[in-house]
Amino acid sequence: METFKITENCLCLIFGESIDEEVNRKIVNLKNKIDDMQIDGIYEVVISYNRLYIYFNDDILTHDGLIDVVNTVNIEEDDVRMQRTIVIPVCYEAPHALDIDELARDNDLTVEEVIKLHTERKYLVYMLGFMPGFPFLGGLDDRLMKPRKQTPRKEIPAGSVGIAGGQTGMYPYKSPGGWNIIGRTPLILFEFDREPEVYYEPGDYIQFKSITAQEFDEIQQRVLQKEYDVEVLEGDE
């Protein structure tokens, strides 16, 4: 692990350049243990693919003091928190699956095969970024890979599920974007006045569950009425 002083109040911890589950496990372990220590002066700890950013009050803490604290943490020791898998319902039908036919055709698959491949895996949440609640997920089947669109759309509906290169992710808000949209979830992925604001965090897994267009409408209504509970699996369920 290397350290880099980003600004006078931000320390970056660098865990190499590879992107893999073992690196993510160490970063998540370290973040959780720093959070548990409740160090006076730290106001945010942010995870990325292979880095951890610690933002702090430089009237209370110093870079060197933080480095000394971090070096006391055993990142090889697994965190005791239970592994969570968040089940996200997704409609892969029109009008929600804007690019699924094109992706299937370009990858020599049927639409049914695209859905099967996309829903049969669990995806590790490596980080949140781009916009609040947007998860960058690892574990996409190589047969589903497709480059970003050359011309991004001016508007993608909130909840859209897309593929770009070897990644899959979800748009929490209506937004411009260049990902290939293969479905949409009726869930509201991020809400400022909800606890928690987002259903998942780095270190969690996401599994997509195929639903029909009718089920999409039904769940969407239940979500708006705050009558829908997101399914969360713990451990190896």
Per the prediction, the chain carries an average pLDDT of 94
Residue of 44, 70, 63 whose CA lies nearest to 55: 44
**Band of the pLDDT at 237, cuts 50, 70, 90?**
low
Q: Centre a 10 Å sphere on the Cβ of residue 178 and count the other Cβ atoms it contains.
A: 14
CA 161 → CA 28, 82, 130, 165, distances in Å? 25, 26, 15, 14
- Residue 172, pLDDT > 80, answer yes
DSSP state of 224: H
Q: Report the topology of domain 2-72.
A: Gyrase A; domain 2 (3.30.1360)
Q: Tell me: the pLDDT tens digits for 59-89?
A: 999 999 999 999 998 887 766 667 899 999 9
Contact yes or no for 6/12 (Cβ under 8 A):
yes
The pLDDT score that the predictor gives to residue 79 is 65
**Could you give the CA distance from residue 40 to residue 42 in angstroms, rounded to a whole number?**
6
DSSP state of 179: S
Cα 169 to the center of its chain, rounded Å = 7
**Could you give the CA distance from residue 150 to residue 178 in angstroms, rounded to a whole number?**
7
Contact yes or no for 205/86 (Cβ under 8 A):
yes
Q: Tell me: the pLDDT tens digits for 89-101?
A: 999 999 999 999 9
The pLDDT score that the predictor gives to residue 198 is 96
Q: Which CATH architecture has domain 84-234?
A: Beta Barrel (2.40)
CATH 3.30.1360.40 in the chain, residues?
A: 2-72
pTM of the model: 0.91
Q: Tell me: the pLDDT tens digits for 133-170?
A: 999 999 999 999 999 999 999 999 999 999 999 999 99
Q: Tell me: the pLDDT tens digits for 183-204?
A: 999 999 999 989 889 999 999 9
The pLDDT score that the predictor gives to residue 197 is 94
